[in-house]
Homo-oligomer: A and B are copies of this chain.
Amino acid sequence: MNYKESHILILSNVARFIDLTELEKQKYLSLLTEIKVKKKSFLMQAGDVTKYEYYITKGCLKVYTIDEDGAPHISMFAVEDYWTGDIASFTTKKPTRYFIKATEDSELLGISRVNYDLLFQEIPKFERFYRILYQRSLVSYIKRSNHGISLSAEERYIEFKKKYPKVVNRITQKDLAGYIGITPEFMSKIITKVNRK
């Protein structure tokens, strides 16, 4: 069977953890929705009840909250081959506190709540896929939450560059500051200092 590029990408992502028959692949793909978002437009805004979980096939998005003082706190940058969304809102149907905004023109595959439930019924193997996917995400979020409380801003910046070398060049310094958890001014000072070394 001849698949389009975005479908090849998501199937190879899924194939990391489970094997699907040709029929299952087609069933799976039929449950997905193609979504395009222009740079600067929103995939989700605080207050929405999120309809989809997303897989990014092209582009870059930032996932963030805005605190009472209006300061943004970025929880992740989602680029090609990443999953994103707000699982809490997706599963509980409560309004999200997150914004997801495209920082580049982006293309995604979304799975709706109905289809997500259906997926587990029709291809129970996907329980395993998501079990392993969540297990791995968990490991990286546990690490990140430890870093947040135990590393200095400069150390967190160095870690970020090491972990996401390609992402650094695709985002603004201001957004990076929002991810590291500091002001853009201090981010600028850290970068000057680290690069001087």
Contact = CB atoms under 8 A, between A and B. Distances in A.
B87 A149 contact: no
Interface in A56-91: 65, 67, 71, 73, 75, 87-88, 91
6 contacts: A65-B146, A75-B142, A87-B139, A138-B141, A141-B145, A148-B149
Number of copies: 2
Contacts of A137: 134, 138
Q: Is the interface of A mostly helix, strand, loop or mixed?
A: helix
Nearest to A92: B139
A103 B134 CA distance: 29
A139 B181 contact: no
Contacts of A142: 75, 141
A187 to B, nearest CB: 13
Nearest to A180: B149
Contacts of A186: none
Contact of A134 (B71, B120, B131, B146): B131
A87 B127 contact: no
A150 B141 CA distance: 15
Contacts of A127: 124, 127-128, 131
Contacts of A179: 149
Contact of A135 (B91, B120, B144, B150): B91
Contact of A67 (B131, B138, B141, B150): B150
A42 interface: no
Contacts of A128: 120, 124, 127, 131
B73 A149 contact: yes
Interface in A126-170: 127-128, 130-131, 134-135, 137-139, 141-142, 144-150
